[in-house]
């Protein structure tokens, strides 16, 4: 079974600084997707960034980027120039790419605090 591990329950970062959130996963599949979701206090689940496993290039979305290490099964999220609005829970998620199989496995989350 696939598992997703986020080993940092809480992190903090100074405003305008950079922070990296860790995520590792376990799978025997070779084709899959990885996601980072943000959940602010409003509790919405917002997609931050996604990565297809067959792509070697790391995904980036403005201030958000990932370091995808397929062999190590690691998928960390880097937030640059942190802003107060980045304070939230961040969830790493995995989904295998297998036709109609759509089940997503989530990590337990990392609570990010941004210090003004």
Residues of this chain that interact with other proteins (CB under 8 A) are 33, 35, 37, 42-45, 47, 50, 52, 91, 93, 97, 99-100, 102-104, 106-109
51 vs 65 by CB, closer to other proteins: 51
99 vs 116 by CB, closer to other proteins: 99
Give yes or no for a contact between 92 and 20, defined as CB atoms under 8 angstroms apart.
no
Give yes or no for a contact between 110 and 19, defined as CB atoms under 8 angstroms apart.
no
Beta bridge partners of 38: 46, 90
Write down the least CB distance from residue 88 to other proteins, Å.
14
What backbone torsions phi and psi does residue 84 show, to the nearest 5 degrees?
-55, -35
Write down the least CB distance from residue 66 to other proteins, Å.
14
């Amino acid at each position: 079974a696939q598992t997703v591990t986020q080993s940092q329950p809480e992190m903090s970062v100074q405003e305008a600084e950079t922070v990296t959130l860790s995520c590792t996963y376990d799978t025997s599949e070779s084709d899959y997707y990885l996601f980072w979701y943000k959940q602010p206090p409003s509790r919405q689940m917002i997609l931050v960034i996604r990565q297809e496993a067959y792509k070697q290039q790391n995904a980036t979305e403005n201030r958000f980027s990932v370091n995808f290490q397929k062999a190590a099964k690691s998928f960390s999220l880097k937030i640059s120039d942190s802003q107060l609005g980045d304070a939230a829970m961040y969830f790493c998620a995995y989904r295998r790419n297998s036709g109609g199989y759509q089940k997503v496995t989530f990590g337990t989350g990392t609570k990010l605090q941004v210090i003004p």
